[in-house]
């Protein structure tokens, strides 16, 4: 077995244990493999080990990889910030976007989504713990933005995404993750006919157990699957 295949088994086991600890069914949490900085061969290895959903942060790197892997039935999630001049590439190549934090980008993505593709599946990114340098809408403004994004014809609003500030202890991690769950529940309750508002994207290598305990439905895991990234290139969210 390859290292990536072994690592994937390890991450799936962590998710299963975390689910069991809080009596959640294991299939209530989806694993997104974050392949940023890793080449197409690493993605192929993960696919051979049963992983079909991948997350990418850097748009041009991602588009090159997506193009090189056209022969595989993969689902691609954009989890990095989107500049206006990159929105067309995102609309044309990705299946999901987790980082909607302003209406202008959402409108561009809807306008630019090609007619032959299904609607782009999107999550709003919220800044629940007030990290100063971070993207994400203020929680107080999330309901209003969600209502506007839900109206855009070529987007399907699926949920909420957060990247809490790193905290090393489990109890400390739970604080921001529980705030995110509360915001997610409030948004789900406020959106009319939001049957598809089902995705709470939170949890990474270091906090996936706490994220599952707090109610995450999609964990985004890079390091525990592919290994450490080169410092300085990969750590910018």
Shorter beta-carbon distance to ligand PLP: residue 102 or 229 = 229
Q: How far is the CB of 201 from ligand PLP (least distance, A)?
A: 8
Polymer length in residues for the chain:
237
> Contacts from 19-22 at CB under 8 Å and sequence distance 24+?
19/212, 21/209, 21/213, 22/212, 22/213
Shorter beta-carbon distance to ligand PLP: residue 142 or 154 = 142
| Residue 96 near residue 120, CB atoms below 8 Å | yes
Shorter beta-carbon distance to ligand PLP: residue 36 or 65 = 36
Residue nearest to ligand PLP (CB): 222
Shorter beta-carbon distance to ligand PLP: residue 34 or 106 = 34
Q: How far is the CB of 208 from ligand PLP (least distance, A)?
A: 8
Q: How far is the CB of 92 from ligand PLP (least distance, A)?
A: 21
Shorter beta-carbon distance to ligand PLP: residue 79 or 97 = 79
Q: Which residue has the tokens 């489990």?
A: 170
**Which residues in this chain contact ligand PLP in the complex, by CB under 6 A?**
34, 36, 57, 79, 163, 204-206, 220-224, 237
Q: How far is the CB of 36 from ligand PLP (least distance, A)?
A: 6
Maximum alpha-carbon separation in the chain: 48
Which residues have C-beta within 8 Å of that of residue 66, sequence separation ≥ 6? 56, 74, 76, 93, 94
Q: How far is the CB of 103 from ligand PLP (least distance, A)?
A: 21
Burial of 103 (0-12, 13-18, 19+ CB in 10 A): middle
């Amino acid at each position: 077995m390859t290292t990536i295949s072994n690592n994937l088994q390890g991450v799936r086991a962590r998710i299963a244990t975390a689910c069991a600890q809080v009596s959640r069914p294991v299939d209530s949490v989806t694993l997104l493999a974050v392949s940023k900085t890793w080449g197409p061969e690493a993605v192929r290895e993960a696919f051979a080990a049963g992983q079909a959903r991948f997350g990418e942060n850097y748009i041009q790197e991602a588009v090159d990889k997506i193009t090189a892997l056209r022969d595989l039935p993969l689902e691609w999630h954009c989890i990095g910030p989107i500049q206006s001049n990159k929105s067309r590439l995102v609309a044309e190549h990705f299946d999901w976007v987790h980082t909607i934090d302003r209406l202008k980008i959402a409108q561009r993505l809807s306008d630019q989504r090609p007619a032959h593709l299904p609607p782009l599946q999107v999550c709003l990114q919220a800044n629940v713990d007030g990290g100063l340098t971070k993207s994400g809408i203020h929680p107080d403004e999330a309901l209003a933005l969600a209502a506007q994004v839900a109206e855009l014809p070529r987007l399907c609003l699926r949920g909420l995404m957060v990247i809490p500030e790193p905290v090393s202890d489990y109890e400390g991690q739970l604080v921001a993750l529980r705030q995110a769950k509360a915001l997610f529940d409030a948004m789900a309750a406020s959106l009319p006919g939001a049957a598809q508002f089902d995705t709470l994207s939170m949890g990474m290598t270091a906090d996936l157990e706490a994220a599952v305990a707090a109610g995450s439905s999609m964990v985004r895991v890079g390091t525990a699957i592919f290994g450490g990234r080169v410092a300085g290139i990969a750590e910018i969210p």
